[in-house]
Structure 1
């Protein structure tokens, strides 16, 4: 038997560290390949980490609530002598977020010593660089030579933490750097110190309950406020005749459930219409970087999902234009199910270029959702209601009962003018009103 180290695997695009939430196994427990042995949290998702070996968990190298860099050792596992640890340990993550696998006995055309020297030089230069100022007026402060991550700087700006205060926060990250958890702990303690100064009668009178925000709610709050600050939100509305879609779904859903064991909801139909409209108006599928507009080639649709605890999460259908309607239905059901079971991976939440929210699921008629940064638009679909409506025919106008739905389109007026925002909304409307009721999904 021999001891091998398990390292923290890649968690998705741009994720450099994660927080250990729970250790799911104890020292001395038998473990198998792909057994979930710890649960971690990143800025994007909580997820379970599988074990890459079969053997006995000899020792944990991390503790709960500890912030752990990607690629660092987290546990020692006792395995059979013939197990090749290097063959299953993840290397640096490629662009798609999936770990590479080292293959032994294959010569690498790389000068290892030269590469190591370059990496060490880059690392030393990064440590010696002056950090960007926490606040605009702090660029020349004596504290500004300390390195802080962009996330920490963003939180500091939003919470109005002065450079002097930031410099006093003890860091628990690598090289004693301040992590997001350190800054959240500082804010919690600062708030607790302020609260006693308030008269007890005005804050607690026995009739109110104080509920601490959980980590995800704090994250959502931070991102929503930041989005309102960044983007110039404008919202347009349209009322869409969903009668053809409703009639087709009523005719199809029983057979679909019988053959697939799953439901066909309105969401994949709505997403299909949005994808078609993005192809017609690709300048909706953009993001903003300073004074530059980045036009995205891939159409990655985020879909807002309400979680059982009341929080919200937005998994992404990557390259949604490559799915037909049956494929979209399967993808929507899969992501929604895994979101509610807390089984999403970090990559499931990364790379969205446009987001939709089906607020009609809560019987809401319309809404004005907040844009998911760095996207520039978001669409909300309201409840479908039967209403009397005028029906235009070659023989004249008739009064009939139609299934109508409000659609709202919120967009960033910095880069999306009213004409583009309105035309895009109208095109989604047209694809839904002209839905082919003779199409099949099985």
Structure 2
């Protein structure tokens, strides 16, 4: 009997576990090679685990909602359908040590204890895994506190990330002091209470898993970074005229659409080379300068959610290479075919507000980066044109760039100079190049 063990694969830096959101096959089912056995989800992206060979599903070791770790044995496929002994099926692949930065206490995975006072479910019926219960016990988190948490896992399941984030938020809340000394305690700000809406003309829409992650990510960014936003007008008339002239030949020659996005990415990467302290992250009191440029491009999905695929080593690509990367990532994002590694490791993010007609905005920084550039819609506007014979008024294609940056490490001077350099790179774009 040929037996093939299927392990939860490594899915990118910092990802040590995944939630099984759906079992696509059950024990005894026949599968063809590359058939999907189960759907999994991490805090970054959804994915599937395929069968490595044609055969019979002899064993599935986890259920929907379980959270195996990278390297855990999740299923066994045999070529002749013979039974697998339970003892054999329970074997796990030995994991290599994984560096973990987040825990400030010992994480212990253990079976639930019958005498354990910590409940296995919240009052809302959301499952609390043994790992979450262990962390809660070690941090003296009560059942009442767990009842207030809305998990980001499947069916609002409380994940390890949720409990760790709650612990960090609780510590932050304890440390914050009032800005003004007063004998009267500062009022606590809390979300307004909601009515039950029973019988009213409203529709209740539950957030899906990705929307919860986006919500947490955006709120966390505003809590972590001191946001400042600067704006600048850019005359992109030469770029508009050049693109209109070459886009059809570009499509025929390279089988790629020529959009404005790779042009924006190129201008940003060149500006980062001039101002590398924009390409950093913050770790406590340390500034981590990245000697590589990975550009995240915020992409709207058909369901209304947002994802940020990453162009790796963007500074090493020419306009043709950037166009291929942009089109490939955007297409796979819309078809839900991104891999976990496709959305990790960005050092700077660009978001295109102009795609929806907005002229400008104040984007929220994509942590752990320290800056994000928003690109507004290109609009025809009257503008002053300087000529050797004097100033005139003309119709120009004007675009507003807005740069949000983390004032903890990026001051107005650096933010302003970087933004100005991006604008200069766009206004001095080489319209004589042949692609």
1:293-372 → structure 2 map (5 Å cutoff)? 293-372=287-366
Q: Structure 1 residues 31, 369: CA separation in 2 closer, same or farther (over 3 Å shift)?
A: same
* Equivalent-residue separation in structure 2 for 1:246 and 1:2 (angstroms): 61
Give the C-alpha shift of residue 66 in structure 1: 1.7
**Residue in 1 that maps onto 2:200:** 206
Count how many residue pairs are aligned between Structure 1 and Structure 2: 365
1:417 counterpart = 2:411: yes
**Residue in 2 that maps onto 1:7:** 7
* Equivalent-residue separation in structure 1 for 2:411 and 2:370 (angstroms): 11
1:227 counterpart = 2:221: yes
* Equivalent-residue separation in structure 2 for 1:92 and 1:392 (angstroms): 66
Give the C-alpha shift of residue 37 in structure 1: 2.4
1:396 to 390, 397, 406: 390
CA contact under 8 A between 1:355 and 1:378: conserved in structure 2? yes
Q: Any idea what the Cα deviations from partners look like across 1:313-372, whole Å, max 9, x if unmatched? A: 011111111111100000000101111111111111111111000110001000100001
Give the C-alpha shift of residue 165 in structure 1: 3.2
**Residue in 2 that maps onto 1:179:** 159
* Equivalent-residue separation in structure 1 for 2:16 and 2:73 (angstroms): 14
* Equivalent-residue separation in structure 2 for 1:309 and 1:8 (angstroms): 28
Give the C-alpha shift of residue 33 in structure 1: 3.8
What is the DSSP-based 3-state SS (H/G/I as helix, E as strand, rest coil) of the residue aligned with 1:69? coil
Q: Structure 1 residues 319, 93: CA separation in 2 closer, same or farther (over 3 Å shift)?
A: farther
* Equivalent-residue separation in structure 2 for 1:283 and 1:215 (angstroms): 34
1:245 counterpart = 2:239: yes
Q: Any idea what the Cα deviations from partners look like across 1:76-106, whole Å, max 9, x if unmatched? A: 101379xxxxxxx9986899xxxxxxxxxxx
What is the DSSP-based 3-state SS (H/G/I as helix, E as strand, rest coil) of the residue aligned with 1:208? coil
**Residue in 2 that maps onto 1:22:** 22
* Equivalent-residue separation in structure 1 for 2:63 and 2:108 (angstroms): 26
CA contact under 8 A between 1:10 and 1:93: conserved in structure 2? no
What is the DSSP-based 3-state SS (H/G/I as helix, E as strand, rest coil) of the residue aligned with 1:17? coil
**Residue in 2 that maps onto 1:432:** 426
1:215 to 209, 213, 226: 209
**Residue in 2 that maps onto 1:271:** 265
Q: Structure 1 residues 64, 412: CA separation in 2 closer, same or farther (over 3 Å shift)?
A: same
Give the C-alpha shift of residue 400 in structure 1: 1.3
Q: Any idea what the Cα deviations from partners look like across 1:187-230, whole Å, max 9, x if unmatched? A: xxxxxxxxxx9765xx2342111111111111111111110011
Which has the larger helix fraction? 1
**Residue in 2 that maps onto 1:78:** 78
1:165 counterpart = 2:159: no
* Equivalent-residue separation in structure 2 for 1:168 and 1:316 (angstroms): 35
Give the C-alpha shift of residue 248 in structure 1: 1.0
Moved over 4 A (4+): 89-95, 124-128, 146-149, 166-169, 181-184, 197-200
Give the C-alpha shift of residue 45 in structure 1: 0.5
CA contact under 8 A between 1:21 and 1:39: conserved in structure 2? yes
Unaligned runs of 5+ in 1: 82-88, 96-123, 129-145, 187-196
Q: Structure 1 residues 403, 162: CA separation in 2 closer, same or farther (over 3 Å shift)?
A: farther
Q: State TM-score, norm by structure 1.
A: 0.75
* Equivalent-residue separation in structure 2 for 1:303 and 1:256 (angstroms): 22
CA contact under 8 A between 1:383 and 1:406: conserved in structure 2? yes
Q: Any idea what the Cα deviations from partners look like across 1:1-44, whole Å, max 9, x if unmatched? A: 33332111111111111011222334344434433322110011
* Equivalent-residue separation in structure 1 for 2:362 and 2:355 (angstroms): 15
What is the DSSP-based 3-state SS (H/G/I as helix, E as strand, rest coil) of the residue aligned with 1:410? strand
**Residue in 1 that maps onto 2:69:** 69
Give the C-alpha shift of residue 399 in structure 1: 1.5
CA contact under 8 A between 1:48 and 1:343: conserved in structure 2? no
Q: State TM-score, norm by structure 2.
A: 0.76
Give the C-alpha shift of residue 246 in structure 1: 0.5
**Residue in 1 that maps onto 2:55:** 55
